[in-house]
Structure 1
Amino acid sequence: MTAATLTRTEETPPEASPVRRIGPLICPAVLPALAMLIAGSTGLTRPALGWDEHATWSAAARTPGEILELARTMDGVIAPYYLFVHFWTGVFGDSVAAIRMPSLIAVVLGVGLVGELGRRLFTPGIGLTAGLIVAAVPQLSRYAQEARAYGMAFCFAVLATLLLHVALGRPTWPRWIAYGLALTLLGYTHMIGLLVLSGHVVAVPVQRDRRVLIRWAAVVAATLVLVAPLIRLGLAQRGTQLEWIPPMDLHQILIAPGVIFGAPVAGLLVVGLALAARWERPLVLGEMAALAALPPALLIAVSFVTAPLWVPRYVLFAVAPLALLAAVALRGLPGRTVVALVMVVAVGFETQQVVRGPAAHGGMDFRRAAAIVRAGQRPGDGVVYGRIGTWSLRAGLDYELRNGPEPADLLVRRSAADAGALEAVECPELTCFDAQRVWYVGARHPGDPMADAGDALRAKFEAEYRRTGYWLLPLGTIALYQRRTG
């Protein structure tokens, strides 16, 4: 061996080990995903199913034909999700854990994708930090534990953004098709999630390549064509579907960052860090800023101009670009990064506990309500429901008592599935029941359990029954009535 060979050998750096080569590639995605899995799994089944989750269960328990029939009158834009849950529960059952599991999986994957997006656009360290910030946000835990489509929408929005940059890096048609598929799944999961395109439209023109612009426009147009049936349904049902949303005002704009994060201080902390982000490629920061700001801004603007549409969870995916910007601001500052992560966890800790409360998902604690009825019911008992939120009261008790004896639903003339709606068709004359004992389930009204019963039903109970039991629950009332004798 010559001296020259020896010199070259000595100067050649040793090849990095496989772990050192692979670590920066997988850690930004895997570690945040594991953190989110732990956070999302903790207390997953503690809250009872809430109002919206009862709609999910009620719809998913029907046949596919009945779900499509429901979509013609209401929840048309959510019908694909209901169909998915129908087949999912057909395989895995309809326990609380099973029905929420798709949301948990989606959010865990979405958080991992945030880390990968950060690695691809910036550095592995930025991806890791951003993913951990997102995993610590209380609102992500909240919707990882909710049997609704918001967790899936978050996942597909981040996936679409990642696949956009994959396609921009090497614009082949298979990559563009993958991007279009992610957009289509986002639209079919939650139509308003397509507001993510307002951020993408900022990223694409930067390429200054006509072919890229044409391909992107073609893919987006194809996506909108595929999602058009849902868009038409959404526009047709908007008046009845979203009438519960309050009018837009300045106060809702001011609190928007905190509400999107689920914890105001955590939201302000991340937004404050995001505003301090600096990077050698400012166009990338501009895209992230557009992804964070434009979807909420557009939804708020539309809510002012037309009917209200502003619901913070509809733009949950805005948390991802804000976390990426915050991570950029913390680049090269390991001590401050640790402090920032600890602060996000600390200021959101109380909210993390709140979102895992027994009735944290809205409505009364239906587990406790069902336990009261189960302990006291007798053969031949019936049940009637108050006039406020009747469909959810009925679905909530039905769900909790689905595996055992249940009081007869005395007022139902046609089930909700037969009626193609969430509400069952009830007997208007009140002559369709003559039970000896009747359970009443209604909204919480201390001292007057039948305050929301309606005049006719109240009059029937006052004339024919006497109250023998009374339980007040958070947001709910249970009362037991016995037919008068003599």
Structure 2
Amino acid sequence: MLQRDPPRLTLPSRIRAGLAHPALVVGFVGAMVGFAGSWIPSYWGDEAASILSTSRSWPSLGALLGQIDGVHGLYYALLKLWTALFGTSEAATRLPSAIAVGLMAGGTVVLARRFVGTRIAVIAGTVCAILPRSTCMAAEARSYAIGAAIAVWITVLFTRLVTRDASRRQWLLYGIACAGAMYLFLYLGLMLVVHGVVAAILYRESLARWMLTAGGATLLAVPIILVASLQRQQIGFLARRHYATPANVLTRQWFGYPVLAVVAWLLILATVVWLVLAVMGRLPRGARLQATVFSLVWLFIPTAALLIGNALLSPMYNVRYLSFCVPAAALVMALGVAAIGELAAPHRRLAISTALTAALVAASVPVYLGQRTPWAKDGGSDWRAVAEYVQQHAHDGAVLFDQTTKPSRAPRIVLDLYPAAFASVDDVALQTPLAERAGLWDAVAPNADATSRMRGTSEAWAVEAAQGTTVPPDVALLTQLGFQVDSAVLIHRTTVYHLSRK
């Protein structure tokens, strides 16, 4: 018997099929948007720590984590396995973060649909995918995007536990997931606090089980908490940066720049007003009220905790550390879009919601494009371009690197990230390669001592962070040894000097 070919889906039927699985559609688009152009910017200091950890042997990585970056150990191990398969290019190492942003956006849709309709859920997922904090962490080889994805999915699990007659096994799974999240990024432990506050407000019948599970999760996380305490000096730099400013909290933390921040906070205000009216009985209550309370608690509690801790205990605030609250910001904004739309006649609400969402997307585009330029990272990191220039022009001689910068901006990191580019020159200052020591970076001799190894060298290169007319100390040192500057090429914020002597 002849079999009929399956009917071909028309465009309208494909759209309907996509609407039946909105989380998949939003998640896929979010991952693609996050990955597009992610390979364009050069690596910067934090990413260098990630990438160079993958070049170590497992014993070397273990020795490193015993001294510093222990809280990032799980991510480094996962990235090491990933790069063994896919390499260490910018595209390869940032791809997991882009995938995670897709999972975060899709998870936001799943979470929102548990409380509100598909329309608000899709708006929330879309906003989640395009907020500048999301598109930034999608293009970064760090753990923040993966942590944000985990935050939303353990929240999905939590909502299922408190809205159903969950078994002990399900609560155990939740506890293990929360503990595991803290091993990836310690501040994800604040999600336990968020869930506890929500349980106390909305799901008091589940509060006792949550307390028992949270206690167990905390016990499981004690080792990583101890590691963080013992290595707390590694975030001591926060005391010198003064990150806890209104501009950072209100703008850079999630929204990137003032125009989008103003729109976002107006939508958040609309959600707060809706909540007040609902509590007063002026608006109908229901699952949407639960979503509003949940998302506002998630939005504000972690930020408040870090700001209070930063002020009273020790430096702990950084805008990136609250990336896991992006889904909450997106959901609150989506609820604000819905609240504003409800001020209009019913037949106009869809159009208003669509227009507001499109405006948010449009407002995010300038930041998105700016994040995908060659100098987008860390105020203009140009390391890949420096490596390309050196590889094209340096075929002999010795190389010195600026030693006056902070470690995470040291130009010699370029050599470790792109060793092939420096294969033709001698690294005269190197004492101990990073792979052979329990530290993030190479151990080097002062350049004043390293030049003693250049007695038979007639050609030298100096890679300097210094710009302008001031002669860098390394260049001055080389000229005292008889070298003359043949060229000085400013890449972006790094200058490569070529010197020679007869």
TM-score, normalised on structure 1?
A: 0.87
> What is the alpha-carbon distance in structure 1 between the residues aligned to residue 424 and residue 220 of structure 2?
43
Cα 1:310/1:345, change in 2 over 3 Å: same
> What is the alpha-carbon distance in structure 2 between the residues aligned to residue 440 and residue 423 of structure 1?
19
Question: Which residues of 2 match residues 469-484 of structure 1 at below 5 A?
Answer: 469-482=487-500, 484=501
User: Which position in structure 2 is the counterpart of 1:414?
Assistant: 432
Which of 409, 418, 439 aligns to 2:461? It is 439
Higher mean C-alpha displacement, 461-470 vs 394-403: 394-403
Question: Which residues of 2 match residues 12-411 of structure 1 at below 5 A?
Answer: 26-27=21-22, 29-170=23-164, 171-205=166-200, 206-209=202-205, 212-244=206-238, 246=240, 248=242, 252-260=245-253, 261-277=255-271, 278=274, 280-281=285-286, 282-331=289-338, 333-362=349-378, 363-390=380-407, 392-402=410-420, 405-411=423-429
AA of the residue aligned to 1:144: A
Cα 1:20/1:120, change in 2 over 3 Å: farther
AA of the residue aligned to 2:31: L
Contact 1:413-1:425 within 8 A present in 2 as well: yes
AA of the residue aligned to 1:387: T
Deviation of 1:34 (Å): 2.6
> What is the alpha-carbon distance in structure 1 between the residues aligned to residue 303 and residue 240 of structure 2?
16
Cα 1:217/1:411, change in 2 over 3 Å: same
> What is the alpha-carbon distance in structure 1 between the residues aligned to residue 16 and residue 362 of structure 2?
34
Contact 1:388-1:442 within 8 A present in 2 as well: no
Segments of 5+ residues of structure 2 without an aligned counterpart are: 1-12, 279-284, 343-348
Deviation of 1:25 (Å): 5.4
Cα 1:480/1:23, change in 2 over 3 Å: closer
Which of 477, 484, 489 aligns to 1:459? It is 477
Aligned length: 459
Higher mean C-alpha displacement, 403-412 vs 316-325: 403-412
User: Which position in structure 2 is the counterpart of 1:13?
Assistant: none
Cα 1:118/1:448, change in 2 over 3 Å: same
Deviation of 1:26 (Å): 2.0
Deviation of 1:62 (Å): 0.6
Deviations 1:253-275 (A, max 9, x none): 35412112223322332232122
> What is the alpha-carbon distance in structure 2 between the residues aligned to residue 231 and residue 407 of structure 1?
44
User: Which position in structure 2 is the counterpart of 1:14?
Assistant: none
> What is the alpha-carbon distance in structure 2 between the residues aligned to residue 218 and residue 404 of structure 1?
56
Segments of 5+ residues of structure 1 without an aligned counterpart are: 1-17
Give the % identical residues: 24
Contact 2:387-2:418 within 8 A present in 1 as well: yes
> What is the alpha-carbon distance in structure 2 between the residues aligned to residue 328 and residue 468 of structure 1?
62
Deviations 1:119-175 (A, max 9, x none): 012222211110011122122111101000111111111111111101112222232
Contact 1:246-1:308 within 8 A present in 2 as well: no
AA of the residue aligned to 2:249: A
> What is the alpha-carbon distance in structure 2 between the residues aligned to residue 166 and residue 25 of structure 1?
21
Deviation of 1:22 (Å): 7.5
> What is the alpha-carbon distance in structure 2 between the residues aligned to residue 407 and residue 228 of structure 1?
47
Deviations 1:7-44 (A, max 9, x none): xxxxxxxxxxx9999866521x1232133123112212
Deviation of 1:285 (Å): 1.8
Contact 1:382-1:409 within 8 A present in 2 as well: yes
Q: CA RMSD in A?
A: 2.5
Higher mean C-alpha displacement, 56-65 vs 265-274: 265-274
Cα 1:181/1:111, change in 2 over 3 Å: farther
Cα 1:461/1:425, change in 2 over 3 Å: farther
> What is the alpha-carbon distance in structure 2 between the residues aligned to residue 80 and residue 249 of structure 1?
26
Cα 1:449/1:191, change in 2 over 3 Å: farther
Is the counterpart of residue 424 in structure 1 residue 442 in structure 2? yes
> What is the alpha-carbon distance in structure 2 between the residues aligned to residue 256 and residue 308 of structure 1?
15
Tell me, what secondary structure is at the counterpart of 2:487?
Answer: strand
Deviations 1:249-305 (A, max 9, x none): 87x135412112223322332232122223623344222111001111111111111
AA of the residue aligned to 1:253: P
Contact 1:381-1:407 within 8 A present in 2 as well: yes
Cα 1:166/1:130, change in 2 over 3 Å: same
Tell me, what secondary structure is at the counterpart of 1:421?
Answer: coil
Higher mean C-alpha displacement, 291-300 vs 303-312: 303-312
> What is the alpha-carbon distance in structure 2 between the residues aligned to residue 41 and residue 375 of structure 1?
29
Deviation of 1:349 (Å): 1.7
> What is the alpha-carbon distance in structure 2 between the residues aligned to residue 404 and residue 419 of structure 1?
21
